Structure 1
Amino acid sequence: MRKPADSSAPLSEPIAQRWSPRALDETREVSWEQLRALLEAARWAASFGNTQPARFLAGRRGDATFRQILGTLTERNQAWAHRAGALLVAIAVTRNEKGEIPYAEYGLGLAAQNLVLQAVEDGLVAHQMAGFDADAVREAFAVPADAVPRVAIAVGHAGDPALLGVEKLVSREQAPRQRLPLGEIAYTGEWGMPAF
């Protein structure tokens, strides 16, 4: 299922095609090679002073890491994310040998976006989730105090929206993507004056 962005200017294909489905095909796998490519894309993201604060826990469906990550998700997210080919948790390291890392969460966000766009480029889909227990991640994986679990990410192959079962979820999955108009987010001259 494709849901391309309705944009006022041409976009690169991964950006235009990126969306966050919940209906995932549990009969298809995410290979270690595919997972490596996603994490390489994340590794090459920009970061403040090249501090590279992004870290990832990664598991493939069927392995212990996948099961542990799945167990930290909210019940609502577990209901669909168990079909993912891979589950990851994106973590911001906030300190290094020089002290506090400025903009660590921003760097993590850039790395996660690179990962998601690489997934699209590789024919996969990715869904980022705030619905997980960061403390449970810390405990399950011995995450140090200066590392902050920020988002869980399900990666896989898009599946039939009917897999979601609940009509409300199926409808939401099939609905067109929406964004604020460009004039409401890009200003010129003064705040609130649309640039376009």
Structure 2
Amino acid sequence: MEHVLPQVQEHRKAAYDIDPLFLNRWSARSYRPDPVADDVLYSLLEAAHWAPSGNNEQPWRFVIARTAEEKERFYSFINEGNLIWCKQAPVLVLLVSKTVSSRGTTLRTHAFDAGAAWGYLALEATRKGLVTRAMGGYDRDKAREVLGIPDGFEPQIVIAIGHPGEKDALPEALQEREQPTQRVPLSELVYEGAFSAK
């Protein structure tokens, strides 16, 4: 992917020169139910597992749901507002992070590192023409119970993965939101020398 996609160009413009991949990645809600091939799905997970992590602890873990039965388990802990659209996604993934280091100490950067893995996965999905959306709206305790997540691991986000669908396949209230979003100017986020609340 060497250019900014037409549907992205009208909503996003970088102030500095960056790879178009970063602009083309956005959080879609509309998915075609077509399956994602095994080698494609695992290439996204391969990209994620090359993310940087503190002391190379690699705390991320991925629980994948692709069959109807597996997805039903996920639906049991995903909030209603997300179920409206995510049931069309052919793949759901719960990103979990290990909270204890290989030395038995608290791994303070586990969530940060898992976030880097999510970012890598999302970018590789975009590169392959897929769309993704991360969801924080789910019951973490129920996910832990339903999926058998033990102590020492923390559920982070649920990720929907699939082929992009049509905007009009969504409920009307979501159709107007189904587009890439802009970002606040970089000048509001960067401080030179010291932090300054604006």
Query: TM-score surpassing 0.5?
Result: yes
Identity of aligned residues (%): 32
Whole-Å Cα distance in 1 between the matches of residues 171 and 111 of structure 2? 35
Whole-Å Cα distance in 1 between the matches of residues 28 and 102 of structure 2? 39
Whole-Å Cα distance in 2 between the matches of residues 126 and 7 of structure 1? 21
RMSD over aligned Cα, in angstroms? Answer: 1.8
Q: Which has the higher contact order (CA 8 A, sep 6+)?
A: 2
**TM-score where L is the length of structure 1:** 0.90
Partner of 1:179 in structure 2? 183
Partner of 1:71 in structure 2? 76
Segments of 5+ residues of structure 2 without an aligned counterpart are: 1-5
Q: Secondary structure at the match of 2:76?
A: helix
Aligned with 1:21 (options 25, 28, 37)? 28
Displacement of 1:193: 9.4
Whole-Å Cα distance in 2 between the matches of residues 86 and 32 of structure 1? 11
Spell out, residue by residue over 1:110-133, the C-alpha distance to the aligned partner (whole angstroms, 9 max, x if none): 011111111001110000000111
Q: Is 1:133–2:139 an aligned residue pair?
A: yes
Whole-Å Cα distance in 1 between the matches of residues 133 and 190 of structure 2? 26
Whole-Å Cα distance in 2 between the matches of residues 182 and 97 of structure 1? 37
Residue type matched to 1:152 in 2? V
Displaced runs of 4 or more, over 4 A:
none
Segments of 5+ residues of structure 1 without an aligned counterpart are: none
Whole-Å Cα distance in 1 between the matches of residues 175 and 146 of structure 2? 33
When structure 1 is superposed on structure 2, of 49-58 and 63-72 the one drifting more is 63-72
Partner of 2:192 in structure 1? 188
Aligned with 2:18 (options 11, 14, 20)? 11
Whole-Å Cα distance in 1 between the matches of residues 193 and 144 of structure 2? 46
